[in-house]
A and B are shown apart, each in its own frame.
Chain A
C-alpha cells in the first residue's frame, strides 16, 4: 500500500492521519516479531560461544572420574534412558493412537483426545513426583524409575502424533483394501499405518526429543551419578540435562565450562531433531 508523496498531499488531514497510524502500527508489529526472535538468536550465539571451548575428544570420550574428565557417562545415560523409554512408549502410543482414530466410537475417541490433552498439559515435574512417590520406594533411585518418568511424558506425544497422521490417510485407501477382501486388522497394519509411516516416525522423533531434554523428572527418579552406568537399570544413572544442572551449581571452573559444553551438545541435538521433524512433516503429507 505505497502512497506517493504527491498523492499523500491530496489526501485529507484525516486520511493522512490514518495512513500515519497504519505505518506506525506496521513498524510496531515488525518490532514485536523482532523481539520474539531475539531470545533464540541470543541464546544460540551465547551458548555456542561459551560451549565451544569445552569441546574436545576427552570431553566426549572420558567419564568424570578420569584424569581429564568428560561427560561420556551422561551421554550414554541419556541414550539408554531414552532408548528404553521409546521401546515402551513407541508401540503402546502408536497402538493407542491408532485405536482412537480408527476403531473407537465418537464418544471414546473424544474422551481419549481429552485424556491426551490432559497428559500433554501435565507439567513434567508431576510425572517425576508421582514416580518418586509411587515407584521409587520399590525401585529405589534408579534408571528404571527414570524410564518410567520419561515414559509418562513421551507416551502422550506419540499418541497425539499417531492420532493426527492416521486421520490424514484418505478413506479411499482403506476402502480399496477392504473391498479386495483384506481383513480389517491387516488393512490397518499394512495399508493405513504403512501409508502414515513417516508421520508415525515423526511422532517417535518428537518423543525422543522430549525425552532427551527433560531434567526435573529425572532429578526425582534417576537422580544422576558421576559414575558410569552401562545397562545396570537398578541403580542411579546420569543424563546430559542433569549434568548441565548439577555442573552449573558447582564452584569448579572446569565443571562450569563442561556445563556449557553439555548444554551446547543438547542444543545441537534439539535443533537437529527439530529440523529432521520439519523436513519429514513436509514430505509426509499423506493426504
Chain B
C-alpha cells in the first residue's frame, strides 16, 4: 500500500459508515412502503369472509344492512347491503363540492387578483385555519349550533317551497329530522373549503403575469381578464384542487357521524338522516364479532380506500399534464 494514513482512514469511513447510514435511511422508506402494503393487503384479506355470504352486486345495490341471523327453520337470513352508505357518501360529497368549489375558487380569485396584500394575508390565514381545527370540534359546533340554524333556515325554506313538489327535498314540517344528509354535506363543504382555496390560490398565482397584462393592455376589464384568461389557464389545476378536496370529503368521518344521523337505509329526502361509509365504520365497531361482520367493515373500508386512491392518482395524472397545475 502506497497510500498514506489519512487517506486510508478517510476511505475506511467512506466504505463503511456511508453504506450503513444509507441503509438505515432506506430501511425507513421500506418501512413506510410496508405500512401502505399492510393497509391494502389487510383490507382485502379481511373482507374475504364477507364474499362467502354476500354477493358483491347485492352488497352495492341493497340498502338493507341487517347482519346475519338464524331464521326459525335453521336457514341464515339477512345480509349486508351497503347502498345506503354509498348513497350517503356520494350525496354528501356532491353537496360539499357544490358549496366548496364555487365559493372556494372565487374566493381564491379575490385573494389573488383583488384583495390588498395585508387583507389577503389575513383572509388566507383565517380560511386555512379551518383545516387545522380538529374535526370533532367542527362536528360539535355543527351539532350544537350550525345544524339547528340550517334546519330552521335553508332547509325549512326549501322544504316548504320546492319541497312540496319534489319529494327528495321534502320535510315533515311538524317534526323536522334531528339530523340530515343535507346538513352533513354542508358541514363537509365547510371542512374542505380551505383545501379548495389554498390549492386554487397557488394555481391562480402561477398564471404568468404577462398573460394578464396582455389582456388588460387590450382594454379588458378585470372580470373579463379573469373569465377569459385566468380561469381558462388555471382550469386544470383548479380541477385538481376540487378532486383533492373531494377525496378529503369522502373520507371525513367524525364530524359527519355527529351530524348525519346514522340511518343505514337510503333516505327518502335529503332532509332526513342517512349514513356514509366512513360513519358506518366508526359507528359499528362495537357490534362486530363474526368474521362476516368484520369482513363487511373491511369491505366498506376497502371501497373507501379504493375511491380515495383513485382520486389521488387522478389528481397526479391531471396536474402532471398541465404547466400551471404542475407547480402546485
**Residues of A at under 8 Å CB distance from B?**
1, 18-19, 21-22, 25-26, 28-30, 32-33, 35-37, 39-43, 46-47, 50, 91-93, 95-96, 98-100, 102-104, 108, 112, 114-119, 121-130, 132-134, 152, 155-156, 159, 181, 183-185, 188-189, 209, 212-216, 219-220, 241, 244-245, 248, 259-260, 263, 266-267, 270-271, 273-274, 278
Contacts and interface: CB of A to CB of B under 8 A. Distances in A.
B154 interface: no
Given A41-B126, A115-B33, A121-B308, A241 B251 contact: no
Contact of B134 (A102, A181, A266): A266
A66 B134 CA distance: 27
B304 A126 contact: yes
Nearest to A148: B35
A123 B111 CA distance: 29
A43 B194 CA distance: 15
Nearest to A116: B32
Nearest to B120: A33
Considering the complex of A and B, which 8 residue pairs feature the smallest CB-CB distances, nearest first?
Answer: A123-B251, A213-B134, A185-B21, A99-B25, A95-B28, A32-B106, A96-B28, A22-B221
Nearest to A95: B28
A183 B114 contact: no
Interface string B295-323: 00110010011001101100010000000
B253 interface: yes
Q: Provide the main secondary structure of the chain B interface.
A: helix
A21 B26 contact: no
B42 A40 contact: no
Interface size range of chain B in the complex: 35 or more
Q: Provide the main secondary structure of the chain A interface.
A: helix
**Chain B CB within 10 Å, residue with most, of A104, A127, A219, A260:** A219
Contacts of A108: 29
A209 B128 CA distance: 14
Contact of A123 (B107, B114, B244, B304): B304
A196 to B, nearest CB: 15
Interface in B252-291: 252-254, 257-258, 278, 281-282, 285
A278 B141 contact: no
B134 A96 contact: no
B140 interface: yes
Contacts of A216: 253-254, 257, 278, 282
B66 to A, nearest CB: 21
Given A28-B106, A36-B127, A119-B32, A215 B250 contact: no
B177 interface: no
B22 interface: yes
**Chain A CB within 10 Å, residue with most, of B20, B35, B134:** B134
Interface in B7-23: 10, 13-14, 17-18, 20-22
B138 interface: yes
B71 interface: no
